[in-house]
Structure 1
Amino acid sequence: MNYFAHLHIAAVTNTSFMGSLLGDFSVDTKQLDDDLLEGWRLHQKVDVMVDQHEASVLFRSMPRQGRRRFAGIVQDIVMDYWLLRYWSRFSAVPLNVFCEQAIKSLQRDKYRSPERLKNMITSLEQDNWLPNLGTVEGVEKAIYSIMRRWQHGVHLQVFINDLLLVIEQAEAPFLRLYPDVLDFVMLETKKAEATHNLG
């Protein structure tokens, strides 16, 4: 799951929007406030669950030019694409309203974020590009963004060359995966609440 899915998960579980994104950034967890740490931990658990899910294994094994070992990176982005395309199936909140709520929450906590995340929030303040993640152009831009800052980014070019196929291949795995993700995060949230109440 990528940025948008983690923001949606934060809304579903009533956890921190900022914390939900921190799993993709370098942070010292010992320095995090409790609400951010909770979101960070949930992000990590989701990433492990998604990586091991049979739908993810299926997506990575589908025939295409890109290396299987890098397909998971692209999967995160195209899963966001399909979440946005199927948004009304997973949320009763209108998409534009949700995006505004997420950005406002991130703005409030911006001072508690690492520099690269601050820059991302600033870009959202200037131009709300969250809905664009549900477009082919948005997917392409997101992949290029990773390519620019990752030393092995060149290996993602073949996925862009075959992008329409890659997006199409992700639809069925997404529809199998995401309901399980939501069930998983609700269960994990209940476990965390129970542990907190015992403490």
Structure 2
Amino acid sequence: MNFLAHIYLSGNNDELKIGNFIADGIVGNKYKHLPITVQKGIKLHRKIDSFTDTHPIVRKSKKRLHPRYRHYNGVIIDILYDHYLAKNWSKYSDIELNTYAQQFYTLLTDNHEILPEKIKKLLPYMIKDNWLYNYRTIEGIETVLIGMNKRTKNISKMNLAIEDLQLYYTDFEDDFTTFFEDLRNLSSEQTKIILNK
């Protein structure tokens, strides 16, 4: 899953949210210096990723994508699923999406010193363009995909995935809705286990 889902699946625990968000910026176990609950958020992130990567519905979504993306399929589906989470946000949260996004940006800014360098570099762009909020529109997702393609020096062709999104819009949304219920259940169970260790 992409940024918004990882943050949301951390529930109301701020340190868990930070860990879940920064996990992709941390290699291996180079996080032992961080607060314990942030470390637990990193572990939760990795459980979510493992579950997502092996889930049959996610695999079905990947198969819908044009073959040109090759091993970038998973990244694209993560981004597309975040679109559906943002678009349908009111089904999952009582807090308005823009308010939720701004609160999270403040949380990261207030904890800037513990963020990995990769995340520190990304954060100003994320805040300036309000990524979490703009995931809700097709135009917002297109901007993300264009940016991702640039980061891969145009190798990934991810900018073209907006065509796949539009072609299979309802199918992808159905996949997301079904899969996300499974993922919410998994995350709820794992959060209880991780926080009680």
TM-score, normalization: structure 2?
Answer: 0.86
User: Are 1:165 and 2:196 counterparts?
Assistant: no
- Is the contact made by 1:65 and 1:159 (CA closer than 8 Å) also made in structure 2? no
Question: Where in structure 2 are there 5+ consecutive unaligned residues?
Answer: none
Q: Which segment drifts farther, 101-110 or 66-75?
A: 66-75
Read off the aligned partner of 1:60 and give its amino acid letter.
Answer: K
Change (3 A) 1:186 1:15: farther
d(CA) in 2 for partners of 1:129 and 1:67? 23
C-alpha displacement of 1:119: 2.6
Partner of 2:178 in structure 1? 176
C-alpha displacement of 1:137: 1.7
d(CA) in 1 for partners of 2:69 and 2:121? 31
- Is the contact made by 1:110 and 1:121 (CA closer than 8 Å) also made in structure 2? no
d(CA) in 2 for partners of 1:119 and 1:167? 32
User: Are 1:17 and 2:4 counterparts?
Assistant: no
Q: Spell out, residue by residue over 1:40-84, the C-alpha distance to the aligned partner (whole angstroms, 9 max, x if none).
A: 111111011011111101101226354453321100000010001
1:102 aligns with one of 101, 104, 117: 104
Question: Where in structure 1 are there 5+ consecutive unaligned residues?
Answer: none
d(CA) in 1 for partners of 2:91 and 2:195? 27
Count of residues in correspondence between the two structures: 195
Change (3 A) 1:88 1:71: same
TM-score, normalization: structure 1?
Answer: 0.85
Matches of residues 83-122 of structure 1 in structure 2 within 5 Å? Answer: 83-122=85-124
Read off the aligned partner of 2:143 and give its amino acid letter.
Answer: K
d(CA) in 2 for partners of 1:24 and 1:166? 28
- Is the contact made by 1:55 and 1:177 (CA closer than 8 Å) also made in structure 2? yes
C-alpha displacement of 1:109: 1.1
User: Are 1:80 and 2:82 counterparts?
Assistant: yes
d(CA) in 2 for partners of 1:187 and 1:14? 18
Partner of 1:60 in structure 2? 62
C-alpha displacement of 1:169: 3.7
2:190 aligns with one of 169, 174, 188: 188
Change (3 A) 1:189 1:44: same
1:123 aligns with one of 118, 122, 125: 125
- Is the contact made by 1:146 and 1:153 (CA closer than 8 Å) also made in structure 2? no
After TM superposition, which residue ranges in structure 1, 4 or more long, deviate above 4 angstroms?
12-15
Change (3 A) 1:70 1:90: same
- Is the contact made by 2:65 and 2:73 (CA closer than 8 Å) also made in structure 1? no
C-alpha displacement of 1:104: 1.4
Change (3 A) 1:15 1:172: farther
Question: How many percent of aligned residue pairs carry the same amino acid?
Answer: 26
Q: Spell out, residue by residue over 1:102-150, the C-alpha distance to the aligned partner (whole angstroms, 9 max, x if none).
A: 1111111111112231133223444433211111121122122222223
